C-alpha cells in the first residue's frame, strides 16, 4: 500500500523526542498548500495540527504557512503605502474592545486601517464585529470591498468567513480539539492587503519573537507586536508593555511602563459594547478606556514613524483623542 504524500510531514513532527524536528520553511509551505487544497485526510490534519500545538510553531514553519495561505487570496489592484494591518481574532472578555476606537481614531487622522477577524464560538467574548455592529460600521464581505472602504473611510473590517472560508473551516476545528492550533497564529500574520505596517498581538509572550522573526522571513517592512489585553492588539494600561518591532529588515524591542503605575483594574462588570459609542461622544468618561485607546494609538504612531519616541507618541495620541471629530466613521 502506497504511503500518503502528506504522511512525511506528520512523520517529521512525530518521530519522538530524539527524532522529531521542525519543518523547514519550504516543507511548511508545501504541507499547508496540501491542507488548503483539500489533499489531506482529516485524521492527518488533526495529528499534524496537534503535533505542532505541542511543539509550538517555529518562525520558519509560520512563514511557510502564511506564504501558502496568501496564495488562496485574491487581492485587489489598489496599493496602500501607509496602510496598517490589524488582525482581530481573540475577542475580549475582561475589558471592552477599546482597540476599535483606537483604530477609528487613527483612521480619522489619515492613518488607514485594515482590520480582519472572525467571531468565535465563545459566547462570553466580544469580538470586533460585535463592536462594529453596535457602532453602525459596515463589514466588508470581500477584500475588494475592503479596499473600497479603505479608500472612502480609511477603515475596513473584513470577515475571514468571507475572504478565506477554508481557513475559517480549519480554525473551527478548535471545537473538536479543545485547543488553539497554528491557524490562530497564522491568521495574525496573514496581512491580506499586503499592508506595509502591521499591528499585532499575541496572548502568550513567547510568540512575540516568533512573529517578529517570521515577519522578517516574509519580507514585512514594519511591524509592532505586543502581548495585548485578552490577546487583542490593545495596550493593557495596567502592565508594562514590551514591544517587538520590525523596521526595514531590522528588529528591536522597547519596553513602555504601565500607564497606571501598578494599579490594577478589575474585570468590567457590564461589558456593554454600546459604551464605546458613548465614550466617543463624551457621554461617559472611562479612565481605563481612555488609557487603552491612547496607549494603543501611541504604539501605532511610533511604529509608523509618526512619532519619534514614546513620550511624543503618547502626547500625540492624547491630543488626537481630545480633538477627535464628532463622527468616528468619516
Is 70 exceeded by the pLDDT of residue 262?
A: no
Q: What are phi and psi of 298, to 5 degrees?
A: -60, -40
Domain extent, residue 229, equals 84-322
Q: What is the pTM of this model?
A: 0.95
Does residue 269 carry a pLDDT above 70?
yes
Q: In the 8-state DSSP scheme, what is residue 72?
A: T
CA terminus-to-terminus distance, the chain: 62
- 208 and 248 co-located in one domain: yes
- Nearest Cα neighbor of 330 from 157, 153, 156 is 153
Residue 63 within a domain? no
The predicted-structure confidence for 204-258, as pLDDT tens digits, reads as follows 888 999 999 999 999 999 999 999 999 999 999 999 999 999 999 899 999 999 9
Query: Do 191 and 266 fall into the same domain?
Result: yes
Cell output for 241: 508593555
Instruction: Give the torsion sign (CA, 213, 215, 221, 225).
Output: negative
pLDDT, position 1: 65
Q: In this structure, are residues 154 and 112 in contact, taking their beta carbons and an 8 Å threshold?
A: yes
Rounded to an integer, what distance in angstroms lies between the CA atom of residue 290 and that of residue 296?
10
Residues 20 and 140 in one domain: no
| Number of domains within the chain | 2
Is the model more confident about 248 or about 78?
Answer: 248
The phi, psi pair for 259, rounded to 5°, reads: -70, -35
Give, for 117, the enclosing helix (H) or strand (E).
Answer: strand 113-117
> Do 35 and 173 reside in the same domain of the chain?
no
What are the phi and psi torsion angles at 156 (to 5°)?
A: -150, 145
What pLDDT, on the 0 to 100 scale, is given for residue 264?
73
| 113 shares a domain with 20 | no
d(CA 6, CA 209): 29
Indicate if 46 and 171 belong to the same structural domain. Answer: no
Same domain, 197 and 310: yes
Amino acid at each position: 500500500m502506497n504511503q500518503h504524500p502528506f504522511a512525511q510531514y506528520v512523520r517529521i513532527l512525530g518521530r519522538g523526542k530524539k527524532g522529531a524536528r521542525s519543518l523547514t520553511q519550504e516543507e511548511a509551505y508545501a504541507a499547508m498548500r496540501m491542507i488548503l487544497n483539500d489533499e489531506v485526510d482529516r485524521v492527518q490534519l488533526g495529528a499534524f495540527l496537534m503535533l505542532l500545538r505541542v511543539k509550538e510553531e517555529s518562525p520558519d514553519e509560520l512563514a511557510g504557512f502564511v506564504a501558502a495561505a496568501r496564495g488562496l487570496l485574491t487581492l485587489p489592484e489598489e496599493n496602500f503605502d501607509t496602510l496598517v494591518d490589524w488582525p482581530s481574532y481573540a475577542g475580549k472578555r475582561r475589558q471592552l474592545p477599546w482597540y476599535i476606537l483606537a483604530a477609528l481614531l487613527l483612521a480619522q487622522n489619515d492613518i488607514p486601517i485594515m482590520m480582519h477577524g472572525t467571531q468565535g464560538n465563545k459566547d462570553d467574548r466580544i469580538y470586533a464585529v460585535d463592536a462594529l455592529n453596535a457602532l453602525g460600521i459596515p463589514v466588508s464581505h470581500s477584500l475588494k470591498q475592503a479596499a473600497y472602504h479603505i479608500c472612502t473611510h480609511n477603515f475596513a473590517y473584513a470577515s475571514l468567513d468571507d475572504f478565506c472560508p477554508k481557513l475559517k473551516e480549519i480554525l473551527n476545528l478548535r471545537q473538536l480539539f479543545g485547543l488553539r492550533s497554528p491557524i490562530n497564529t497564522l491568521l495574525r500574520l496573514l496581512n491580506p492587503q499586503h499592508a506595509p505596517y502591521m499591528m499585532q498581538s499575541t496572548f502568550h509572550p513567547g510568540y512575540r519573537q516568533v512573529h517578529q522573526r517570521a515577519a522578517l522571513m516574509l519580507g514585512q517592512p514594519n511591524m509592532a507586536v505586543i502581548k495585548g489585553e485578552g490577546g487583542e492588539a490593545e495596550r493593557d494600561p495596567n502592565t508594562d508593555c514590551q514591544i517587538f518591532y520590525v523596521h526595514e529588515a531590522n528588529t528591536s524591542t522597547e519596553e513602555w511602563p504601565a500607564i497606571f503605575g501598578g494599579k490594577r483594574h478589575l474585570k468590567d462588570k457590564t461589558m456593554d459594547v454600546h459604551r464605546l459609542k458613548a465614550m466617543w461622544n463624551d457621554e461617559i468618561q472611562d479612565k481605563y478606556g481612555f488609557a487603552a485607546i491612547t496607549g494603543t494609538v501611541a504604539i501605532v504612531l511610533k511604529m509608523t514613524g509618526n512619532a519619534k519616541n514614546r513620550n511624543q507618541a503618547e502626547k500625540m495620541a492624547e491630543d488626537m483623542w481630545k480633538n477627535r471629530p464628532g463622527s468616528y466613521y468619516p
